[in-house]
């Protein structure tokens, strides 16, 4: 009889392979006292281990395929920056010298200090950084304890076609495993929208997260089957079940081949409504993915990754070069450039900026930071204005909360236009300006913002999290994180309606836009422009081609009248029943 375990589907796909149980023991650290003459030698031993940890991360960066989303490389760069911080370069050494202790114990004490500090932080992204801190500390400890073999131990075993089971995985580990062509992975922690899940989807690796106790039930080298969409792990399957799973796997592969045929087709509903499908990117290096998906433009170009992992801020010319590279590659398709959303987990070197960037997602960040520090904001606005002379560009403001922020930005843009005009530099005088609707107050006041802006863009990731007061990466409460909460749908509909009333475009650029389970729901709510990761675009296009917009619009009010998640879920299943029957979605 087959054993069936349920977790959270993180990345679609079916994999059949032998299990590999990754044991992630935390290094055991003991304290021993050193005589004063030996302290300098111990400091040197620690510095050598620290350098080895940096070299290892640099080696991982070299192995990352160019097709991988650049936010993944940014996360690894962030860990490198952490290793440059005084918390690792100076504090452990001071502990060695004052406590007369070994390097391992000094690092443990420093780790305890950092962990306690992070535990007291309310921000979800920063608690995720605590995990990064722990992984860094463990890596250095492994190097100190065993300097002759400080690599990733599991790489000594061939993992090709294996399914890795672990308590948790770092982004670095998954990238290295992908190099070994693993068939999939299962972790006991994590949520659908965690960094790990996003990476798995970007790499196309079937994955399940949040499957607690998996390693207690599965033996090493046991044949297992995972369904990364439904979050199901099967063990002890009989030949017939294995055969059926293999058939489903082949069917999925054929479906992906069929989807590629849609690349050059417009997204048009059955009755002829044209839907605009655009892509989200971080850096110009992602442009090949956009072209492969047949996107009709860039709906979200995140620019903060031009600012991190460096000791100085990018100047106007450097930004202009990056923006124009994207514009030229799009051959006349629109590019929506979001101004920098620094703060929270997107930090810059302390030497690059004097402003006190907040480590809280609710603090001084995004548009608040930019308006407070015009010396940062003005060069970007000038670069975006100048880039608009090379093709259709829109300017998008993140985390807008008040109309005053919009008016201040427009006034600053007016000054920049006057400067450029005096300097004889070209720009689009009618550059469209829009705002991200990702704060509940902004959605409630969407009609007010629509009076003063040229377009709106709904950022569902933060909108859902802030509306429901849910930390989406907290295993204890992330089951409550859902786009189907009546309040969330009301805010989305309110924003779309505000755009229609003022005859301005409203797009959606959060994860919800790229989830084909919600495509028809969003069409029913009136959404006409979707922006998503390029890997999701063709699947959403297929759903649109099989949908009747006029019929969907008839259930709009029925959706908005639902009071509970369960009601909306049932209605959603009814909307998707033919797609479920065709196995296009589950």
Predicted pLDDT at 344: 47
pLDDT classification of 354: cutoffs 50, 70, 90: low
The answer to whether the annotation marks 153 as part of a ligand binding site is: no
What are the residues facing 16 on neighbouring strands?
A: 225
pLDDT digits (tens, 9 = 90+) for 24-47: 666 778 899 999 999 999 999 999
Predicted pLDDT at 126: 45
Average pLDDT over residues 94-104: 94
406/411 Cα distance (integer angstroms): 9
Average pLDDT over residues 368-396: 94
Predicted pLDDT at 351: 46
Average pLDDT over residues 310-320: 86
- Residues 329, 331, 333, 335, CA torsion sign: positive
Structure tokens at 341: 């959303």
Structure tokens at 486: 């009546």
The mean of the pLDDT values for the chain is 85
The answer to whether the annotation marks 447 as part of a ligand binding site is: no
Predicted pLDDT at 332: 92
pLDDT digits (tens, 9 = 90+) for 215-226: 888 988 999 999
Backbone angles phi, psi at 261, to 5 degrees: -70, -15
Q: Which of 77, 195, 517, 533 is catalytic?
A: 195
Predicted pLDDT at 544: 96
Quick one: which of 478, 529, 546 has its CA closest to 280?
Answer: 529
pLDDT classification of 125: cutoffs 50, 70, 90: very low
Predicted pLDDT at 494: 97
Domains detected in the chain: 3-24+156-238 (3.50.30.10), 36-145 (1.10.274.10), 302-431 (3.20.20.60), 435-526+535-585 (3.20.20.60)
Output 352 or 312, whichever has higher pLDDT: 312
Give the end-to-end CA distance of the chain in Å, rounded to a whole number: 24
DSSP classification of residue 40: H
pLDDT classification of 305: cutoffs 50, 70, 90: confident
3-state SS of 212-239 is: CCHHHHCCCCCEEEEECCCCEEEECCCH
CA-to-CA separations, 280 to 109, 336, 417, 536, in angstroms, rounded: 42, 9, 27, 11
Average pLDDT over residues 11-17: 88
Does position 152 have pLDDT exceeding 60, yes or no? no
494/483 Cα distance (integer angstroms): 15
Does position 388 have pLDDT exceeding 90, yes or no? yes
C-beta of residue 78 within 8 angstroms of C-beta of residue 61: no
* Least confident piece of the model among 97-101, 122-126, 386-390: 122-126
- Residue 279: in which H helix or E strand, if any? strand 274-281
Structure tokens at 244: 């059926």
148/146 Cα distance (integer angstroms): 6
| Segment 93-100 long-range contacts (CB within 8 Å, at least 24 positions apart) | 93/43, 93/46, 93/47, 96/34, 96/39, 96/42, 96/43, 96/46, 97/39, 97/43, 100/33, 100/34, 100/35, 100/36, 100/39
C-beta of residue 532 within 8 angstroms of C-beta of residue 538: no
Predicted pLDDT at 122: 45
Is there a catalytic annotation at residue 6? no
The answer to whether the annotation marks 438 as part of a ligand binding site is: yes
Q: Which of 142, 509, 517, 533 is catalytic?
A: 509
Does position 149 have pLDDT exceeding 60, yes or no? no
186/215 Cα distance (integer angstroms): 9
Is there a catalytic annotation at residue 195? yes
CA geometry: angle at 254 spanning 250 and 258, to 5°?
Answer: 170
The answer to whether the annotation marks 302 as part of a ligand binding site is: yes
Instruction: Provide the whole-model pTM.
Output: 0.67
Average pLDDT over residues 142-153: 68
* Least confident piece of the model among 40-49, 109-118, 420-429: 109-118
């Amino acid at each position: 009889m087959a054993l069936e375990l349920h977790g959270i589907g993180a990345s679609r796909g079916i994999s059949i392979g032998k299990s590999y149980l990754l044991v992630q023991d935390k290094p055991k650290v003991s304290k021993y006292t050193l005589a004063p003459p030996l302290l300098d030698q111990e400091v040197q031993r620690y510095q050598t281990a620290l350098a080895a940890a940096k070299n290892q991360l640099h080696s991982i960066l070299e192995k990352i395929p160019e097709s991988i989303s650049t936010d993944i490389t940014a996360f690894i760069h962030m860990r490198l920056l952490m290793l440059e911080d005084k918390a690792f370069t100076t504090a452990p050494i001071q502990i060695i010298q004052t406590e007369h202790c070994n390097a391992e114990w000094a690092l443990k004490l420093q780790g305890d200090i950092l962990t306690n500090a992070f535990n007291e932080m309310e921000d979800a992204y920063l608690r995720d950084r605590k995990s990064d801190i722990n992984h860094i500390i463990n890596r250095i400890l492994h190097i100190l304890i065993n300097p002759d073999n400080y690599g990733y131990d599991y790489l000594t075993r061939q993992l090709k076609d294996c399914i890795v089971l672990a308590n948790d995985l770092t982004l670095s580990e998954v990238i290295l495993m992908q190099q070994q062509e693993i068939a999939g992975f299962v972790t006991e922690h994590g949520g659908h929208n965690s960094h790990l899940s996003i990476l798995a989807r970007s790499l196309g690796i079937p994955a399940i997260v949040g499957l607690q106790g998996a390693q207690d039930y599965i033996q090493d080298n046991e044949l297992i089957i995972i369904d990364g969409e439904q979050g199901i792990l099967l063990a002890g399957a009989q030949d017939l079940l294995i055969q059926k799973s293999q058939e489903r796997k082949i069917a999925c592969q054929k479906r992906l081949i069929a989807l590629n045929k849609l690349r050059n087709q417009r997204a048009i509903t059955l009755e002829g409504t044209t839907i605009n499908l655009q892509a989200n990117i971080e850096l110009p290096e992602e442009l090949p993915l956009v072209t492969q998906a047949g996107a009709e433009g860039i709906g979200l170009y995140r620019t903060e990754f031009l600012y991190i992992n460096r000791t100085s801020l990018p100047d106007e010319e450097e930004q202009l070069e990056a923006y124009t590279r994207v514009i030229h590659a799009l051959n006349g398709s629109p590019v929506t450039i979001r101004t920098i959303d620094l703060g929270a987990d997107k930090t810059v070197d302390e030497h690059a900026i004097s402003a006190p960037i907040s480590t809280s997602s609710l603090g001084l960040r995004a548009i608040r930071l930019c308006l407070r520090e015009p010396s940062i904001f003005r060069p970007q606005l000038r670069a975006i204005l100048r880039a608009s002379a090379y093709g259709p560009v829109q300017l998008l403001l993140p985390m807008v909360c008040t109309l005053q922020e919009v008016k201040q930005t427009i006034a600053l843009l007016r000054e920049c236009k006057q400067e450029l005009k005096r300097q004889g530099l070209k720009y689009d005088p009618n550059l469209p300006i829009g705002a991200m609707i990702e704060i509940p107050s902004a959605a409630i006041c969407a009609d007010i913002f629509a009076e003063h802006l040229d377009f709106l863009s709904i950022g569902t990731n933060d909108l859902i999290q802030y509306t429901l007061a849910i930390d989406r990466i907290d295993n204890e409460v992330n089951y409550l994180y859902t786009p189907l909460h009546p309040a969330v749908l009301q805010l989305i509909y309110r924003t779309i309606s505000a755009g229609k009333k003022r005859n301005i475009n409203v797009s959606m650029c959060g994860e919800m836009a790229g989830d084909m389970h919600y495509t028809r729901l969003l069409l029913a709510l009136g959404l006409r422009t979707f922006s998503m990761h390029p890997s999701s675009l063709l699947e959403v296009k297929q759903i649109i081609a099989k949908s009747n917009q006029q019929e969907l619009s008839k259930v709009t009010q029925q959706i908005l009248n639902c009071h509970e998640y369960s009601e909306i879920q049932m209605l959603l299943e009814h909307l998707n029943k033919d797609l479920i029957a065709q196995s296009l979605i589950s």
